[in-house]
Amino acid sequence: MFYDKPFSPAEYESRISKVKRRMEAGGFDLLICQDPASMNWLSGFDGWSFYTPQAVLICLSETAPIWFGRAQDAKSAQITTDIPTCNIIGYSEPLVHHASKHPFDELCGLIQTRGWASARIGVEMDAHYYTARAHQHLVAGLPNARFADSKELVNWARLVKSEAELVYMREAGRNVSSTMKKAIANVKPGRKQYEIVADVYHSQITGLDGKYGDYTSICPLMQVGEGTSTPHLTWSGEALPTSGLVVMELAAARRHYHTPLTRTLHLGAPPSHMARLAATIVEGGDAALSAARPGVTCGEVERVWQAVLRRDGFEKLSRVGYSIGLNYPPDWGERTASLRDGDTTVLEEGMCFHFQSGVWLAEYGVAVSEPFVVTDRGGEQLSNVDRELIVID
């Protein structure tokens, strides 16, 4: 079966070497990685199988990673990765959703067979799919091992994108620009919200110039009227009103590399206070993008943004941005660096962020966000959609 792998074997080898250096620094012999994005980043593994326990293991003494997952998904690992067949291990089907046994009971047996029963093992304690029960079975099954939280070790290794990864980020940026423009064109009084979102899905997957899109880690978000005062509502069956605010946050994904984007529209002429907030948000975002250069900290970028907001009498208590890249549901953020006060992460060329500049007040909100990559010229915008409060006449 032909499968177009997104990266060369050398790219994955480089990533594994980077992670092993971090493992050595963190005192780990073995890393059990269950975050599906990190599994993909380390090996290329791709499949909608993360609803059951699975993992990629990296051992300092092993050249190749080990894929461990449901037996019926082992063929997916053979198709999408270059992992040697001997390192693709499927667990027994009866263990799926078993009342007392767990797939990681067999993972413990694998680790013992490989001679790693007393290893210093890193596990992703805060990964979305690493459950308390999975951890309980690992600890019980490997009593001589020393477990510790790897604290997003692989996520941090993913932070600076390679040139090959940036190709997909820019392709996703072109897709999200096209998708958002089509969505904006569909916003008009009387149009049903779900109809607009249905067209968004079509555009996300169709992509551009034969470069199709993947499913995104978060569904399209859409708020109308007072609903714009909170960021994470989805669409409804209601028709759009004759006047008022509409906020749409959506993304495009190319080989699972995400570029999220938010735009705010107003049906009819906007009140002056809404237009003023939007103008402040755009100005503050532009200033922050200009400041996002190598050597500057995340916190310093956030302060540039906050200075513009405070000058005009506004504030944003939540973070203004976060790192993005390769991801799977339920989130397109990497759970590492954040553009917020106190984050001392130093920006490097090739880091990618979603500058989420939403300001949500008691009765309404406005957001004009931007995905960008850090360059020596500042934040390079990955989208091409007007940065303004878009008025629908």
Q: Which domain holds residue 352?
A: 163-392
Token pair belonging to 238 = 């209601």
**Residue finishing a domain among 125, 157, 189:** 157
- Sign of the four-CA dihedral 96, 98, 102, 105: negative
Are residues 128 and 170 both part of a single domain? no
Are residues 153 and 220 both part of a single domain? no
Query: What global pTM score does this model have?
Result: 0.97
pLDDT at 200: 98
Are residues 190 and 153 both part of a single domain? no
**Concatenated DSSP letters for 220-270?**
-EEEEGGGGGSS-----SPBP-SSEEEEEEEEEEETTEEEEEEEEEEESSP
pLDDT at 93: 95
Q: Is residue 2 situated within a structural domain? A: no
**Concatenated DSSP letters for 280-334?**
HHHHHHHHHHHH--TT-BHHHHHHHHHHHHHHTT----S-SEEEE-B--TT-SEE
CATH of the domain at 295: 3.90.230.10
Q: Give exposure, 260-299, as e/b (b: 16+ Cβ within 10 Å).
A: bbbbbbbbeebeeebbbbbebbbbbbbbbbebbbeeebbe
User: Please, are residues 263 and 198 in contact by the beta-carbon 8 Å criterion?
Assistant: no
Are residues 153 and 169 both part of a single domain? no
- Residue-wise pLDDT tens digits, 280-337: 999 999 999 999 999 999 999 999 999 999 999 999 999 999 999 999 999 999 999 9
- Residue-wise pLDDT tens digits, 187-228: 999 999 999 999 999 999 999 999 999 999 999 999 999 999
pLDDT at 2: 85
Question: Residues, the chain, total?
Answer: 393
- Residue-wise pLDDT tens digits, 333-368: 999 999 999 999 999 999 999 999 999 999 999 999
Degrees, nearest 5: CA angle 209-212-214: 155
3-class DSSP state of 384? coil
Nearest-angstrom CA–CA distance, 58 and 68: 11
pLDDT at 392: 97
* Mean predicted confidence (pLDDT) in 48-68: 97
- Residue-wise pLDDT tens digits, 233-274: 999 999 999 999 999 999 999 999 999 999 999 999 999 999
pLDDT at 355: 98
* Mean predicted confidence (pLDDT) in 8-35: 98
Are residues 281 and 350 both part of a single domain? yes
**pLDDT averaged over every residue in the chain:** 97
pLDDT at 1: 72
Are residues 148 and 205 both part of a single domain? no
Q: Is residue 335 situated within a structural domain? A: yes
